Amino acid sequence: MSAVLRRGAASPQVLALQQALLAAGFDPGKLDGKFGGGTEAAVLAFQTSEAMLADGIAGPRTLHRLGLAASPDLADALASLTTQAVSAMFPWTPVGHIKKNLPFVTQALRQRHLVDKPMVLMALATIRAEVEAFQPVSEGLSRYNTSPNGHPFDLYDRRRDLGNRGAPDGARYKGRGFIQLTGRHNYRTYGPRLSRPVDLEAEPDLAGASDIAAELLALFIGDRELQIKDALMHHNMLAARRLVNGGSHGLDRFVDAWQRGDAVLA
């Protein structure tokens, strides 16, 4: 069956989709092989029921869930993720940094099945917003993490939303990596979920290693895939950025990288 069916399509595959929706309890209306408003509404209802991205488009995941596709795998954009393509998204970044770290990012995204264009662009645009040098870094001092008369990262020390318990937690669990993993809670949560589990709570500096940093990036955005795609579906780049950063920091770089990548990635 076709990988994607959407409103306006007319084919035997659409008829099979309509029949599967009806069998699942979501009536598309007339079974005529034409993807109209009734079919779109039934797809939306089915997707919502299944806690999927409700976009009204029957792609691989929706078709697979309905028993109409052998695999839920999305179109693979990683095949076109070359050093040259990424350099176009990072015009001020040394190419050597990209060559060194792109394999780690690519492997982590593939390992977490984040291979479709929206999630690949989300990962790279996030890196551009957080660490434009395309290499893991540790968070520097700023007015947002250090008070005028305080010790480094004292404003993080007692951030309960980060799981911090007081000094020296602020400095110990400052942002690290491609995604700037921050706070005791995140270090404790994500370390055991790595392909090779690491006690990041005990050894937080390991979050800055390229392979671990790449996997943390993939895990973090993967946990928010549905919300990210919903934001993107509504063309809300700020909301997509906030799902990772919690604010609008780096939004200009995020949007610029996205637009550049959208033009070069298949």
> Structure pTM?
0.88
Instruction: Just give the CATH number of 12-65.
Output: 1.10.101.10
Which pairs from 234-241 meet CB under 8 Å and 24+ separation? 240/122, 241/126, 241/129
pLDDT tens over the chain, length 266 residues:
667 999 999 999 999 999 999 999 999 999 999 999 999 999 999 999 999 999 999 999 999 999 999 988 888 999 889 999 999 999 999 999 999 999 999 999 999 999 999 999 999 999 999 999 999 999 999 999 999 999 999 999 999 999 999 999 999 999 999 999 999 999 999 999 999 999 999 999 999 999 999 999 999 999 999 999 999 999 999 999 999 988 888 999 999 999 999 999 97
Question: Hey, which residues does 138 pair with through a beta bridge?
Answer: 176
192-196-200 Cα angle (round to 5): 45
Domain pair 12-65 / 137-208, same fold = no
What CATH topology corresponds to 137-208?
Answer: Endochitinase; domain 2 (3.30.20)
Q: Are residues 4 and 43 in contact, defined by beta-carbon separation less than 8 angstroms?
A: no
Is the Cβ–Cβ distance between 218 and 111 less than 8 Å? yes
- Sequence-distant (≥ 6) Cβ neighbours of residue 251 within 8 angstroms: 129, 237, 238, 241
Q: Where are the domains of the chain?
A: 12-65, 78-136+217-264, 137-208
N- to C-terminal Cα separation, the chain: 21
